[in-house]
Amino acid sequence: MPNQSPPTRYSAVAQGFHWLIAALIVVQFTLAWSADDLPLGARKLALLARHKSFGMTILTLAVLRLLWRLFNRPPELPPGMTTIERKLARATHVLFYVLLFVMPLTGWMMSSAKNYSVSWFDLFTWPNLIGPNEQAFNILRTTHDTLSWLLFAVALLHILAALKHHFWNKDDVLKRMLPFTKSERRS
């Protein structure tokens, strides 16, 4: 079917990517914060091993999602949004895509720099991106930590914006990303 007019809802694939990655990001924050509180020990390494496995899963999903997104148009933003709102929405989504790549990549490089190679759920080991380097590790850790707070802030803005659209503007911006719903309200 030629994609002439933009769809009014996100497709099942787009919704799948969105909610799966969103859930994994919540898991990632939970694992990272739990591990941060622990001293270096078997429990901490186990939590971080899971964090790395999920991180590589997110990176793989991000690649697939970006490829899919390049060939599939998303629904358009509802009319009535101001230019600044449109720019902010656009910037938020671009930043999300950037962080979906940069977060796992800085994490992967951190592990490489510390000579703790990344295993994927004990099934196989990803190659090291850089050689062991303490200074590089410290820079990468600061970057990874700082960007995690940026991701947290952007996610918060994203959630608040979705709720604002739903309850304040009463448009279908939230509903069209929700499975098992219909977009009755016209955008």
Partner 1 sequence: MRNLYLVATALLLGGAAAAAAASYTSDAAASRLEFVGVQAGAEFKGVFHKFTANVDFAPDTLASSRIDVQIDMNSVDSLDKDRDTTIRGKDVFDVAHNPTAHYITKSITKTAAGFSAVGALTLHGVTKDVPIEFQFVPGAGGAKLSGSAKLNRLDFGVGQGDWKSTDTVGDAVKINFSLVLKPKG
Cβ of 150: how many Cβ atoms within 10 Å? 14
H or E segment to which residue 143 belongs: helix 134-163
Q: Identify the bridge partners of residue 119 per DSSP, sorted by sequence position.
A: 125
Options 15, 119, 143, 169; binder of partner 1; rule CB under 8 A: 119
- Contact pattern from residue 63 through residue 102 relative to partner 1, giving x for each residue in contact according to CB under 8 A and a dash for the rest: ----------------------------------------
Closer CB to partner 1, 75 or 104, in the complex: 104
Closest CB 56 distance from partner 1, rounded Å? 11
E-assigned strand segments in the chain: 119-120, 124-125
Task: Give the orientation angle of helix 42-71 with respect to helix 12-36, to 10 degrees.
Answer: 160
User: With the C-alpha atoms ordered 117, 18, 103, 105, is the resulting torsion angle positive or negative?
Assistant: positive
Query: Binding of partner 1 at residue 118 (CB under 8 A)?
Result: yes
Q: How do 119-120 and 124-125 pair as beta strands?
A: antiparallel
Closer CB to partner 1, 72 or 117, in the complex: 117
Closer CB to partner 1, 138 or 146, in the complex: 138
* Nearest Cα to Cα of residue 12 among 187, 166, 181, 125: 181
Query: Binding of partner 1 at residue 123 (CB under 8 A)?
Result: yes
Options 41, 82, 149, 186; binder of partner 1; rule CB under 8 A: 41
What is the Cα–Cα distance from 117 to 127, expressed in whole angstroms?
7
Query: Binding of partner 1 at residue 134 (CB under 8 A)?
Result: yes
Closer CB to partner 1, 42 or 84, in the complex: 42
Could you list the residues that contact partner 1 (CB under 8 A)? 40-43, 45-46, 48-49, 52, 114-123, 125, 132, 134
